[in-house]
Amino acid sequence: MFSHESHPGYEPTLPDQPSPALQFDQLDQLPGRDDPPTIELGPPLPEPGTPTYPYPAPAPDEPPGPLYVVGDVHGYLEELLAELRHQGLIDADGHWAAGRARIWFLGDFTDRGPDGIGVIDLVMQLAAEAAAAGGYCRALMGNHELLFLGAARYGDEPVQSTAGTASFLAAWRLNGGQQHDLDRLQAHHISWLSRLPAIAIEDGHLLLHSDTTAYLEYGESIPDVNDAVHKLLADEGVDEWWDCFRRFTKRFAFRGEAGPMAVHELLDTYGGTRIVHGHSPIPYLTGAVHADDGAPPHIPGPYVYADDLAVAMDGGVTMEGRLLIARLPVN
Ligand SMILES: [Mn+2]
């Protein structure tokens, strides 16, 4: 059974109710998605000329700062800047103002919205500024990172797909790819995106982009999964990329009666006491996507479900929802 009762703001959803998410599901999986293999190279170095900021050097015994997560951005740079400012994490000029705070972006920076490269540039900038301040700004690799990297690397090269002949470029365009993002994609973006981890754990929160158990197919520990994805991106061909992309595009594993079991499977393998994920917009998870009056979906905040074991962070900014930033733990 769903356990929405303890989460004010979200109406209970009948588990077996036909969901409009089906259409979304099919669209999102259209030509398939591969994972670009990546190599773990560590945090990016500041670009030459990056100014230093006057933060005090952290003492070694100082406790870590507060932990935040950011849901899917999908090119909505202005909304991201506004929410980061609202939370006091950046200043009026868009620079890190959060000291030793820790921020994890949950992936899907580009596609659908107007300025995907602007989003990547901002996150890279904040990563450098946060590190200088004794905090950090890190990011997971979402399926749209795999899709975007695949479009850039493999273009129209045909891939094996159950949906017939497909290519990364066609799939990327069908899933909101913006030509101006591809035109502005530079080597340092590719390098940074290709190094992002697929999974992380922070303060007992297992952080994933997608609400799927497909991560288990890549390894039994967090380093194993991240290494496997990075190695695949570095060494494998278009069909392996595509397969990885498709696996990390799956969704809804934590919904319904079997949801808590799926969450436990991941927590038992990788550690942590709760999963925090993006990828599936909250209106689709709750089934509240299409209001009868056509009103935008109501997104009061992160969506806690699966017996309180999972927190969904994609507020559906691409569908007139919200770009969510939350401080963990979420109640
Ligand atoms: Mn996604």
Instruction: Give me the mean pLDDT over the 319-331 stretch.
Output: 95
Q: Is residue 306 part of a domain?
A: yes
For ligand 1, the distance from its centroid to the CA atom of residue 60, given in whole angstroms, is: 36
For ligand 1, the distance from its centroid to the CA atom of residue 89, given in whole angstroms, is: 24
pLDDT digits (tens, 9 = 90+) for 120-147: 999 999 999 999 999 999 999 999 999 9
Q: Looking at the 3D structure of the chain, how many domains does it have?
A: 1
The pLDDT of residue 92 is 96
Q: Is residue 37 part of a domain?
A: no
For ligand 1, the distance from its centroid to the CA atom of residue 279, given in whole angstroms, is: 4
For ligand 1, the distance from its centroid to the CA atom of residue 281, given in whole angstroms, is: 9
Tokens of 37: 């293999």
The four Cα atoms 36, 263, 107, 244 give a dihedral, to 10 degrees, of 10
Element (H, E) at 286: helix 282-286
Is there a contact between 193 and 234 (Cβ–Cβ < 8 Å)? no
Domain of residue 268: give its range.
Answer: 64-328
For ligand 1, the distance from its centroid to the CA atom of residue 109, given in whole angstroms, is: 9
Q: Is residue 47 part of a domain?
A: no
For ligand 1, the distance from its centroid to the CA atom of residue 142, given in whole angstroms, is: 5
For ligand 1, the distance from its centroid to the CA atom of residue 54, given in whole angstroms, is: 36
Q: Is residue 48 part of a domain?
A: no
Question: Distance of alpha carbon 148 from its chain centroid, rounded?
Answer: 14
Q: Is residue 54 part of a domain?
A: no
pLDDT digits (tens, 9 = 90+) for 47-60: 555 444 445 555 66
For ligand 1, the distance from its centroid to the CA atom of residue 52, given in whole angstroms, is: 33
Q: Is residue 245 part of a domain?
A: yes
The fraction of the chain above a pLDDT of 90, given in percent, is 75
For ligand 1, the distance from its centroid to the CA atom of residue 38, given in whole angstroms, is: 18
Is there a contact between 90 and 125 (Cβ–Cβ < 8 Å)? no
Q: Is residue 25 part of a domain?
A: no
Look up the pTM and report it.
0.83
Q: Is residue 45 part of a domain?
A: no
Q: Domain with 263 in it: what CATH number?
A: 3.60.21.10
Q: Is 173 helix (H, G, I), strand (E, B) or coil?
A: helix
For ligand 1, the distance from its centroid to the CA atom of residue 226, given in whole angstroms, is: 17
pLDDT level of residue 169 (50, 70, 90 thresholds): very high
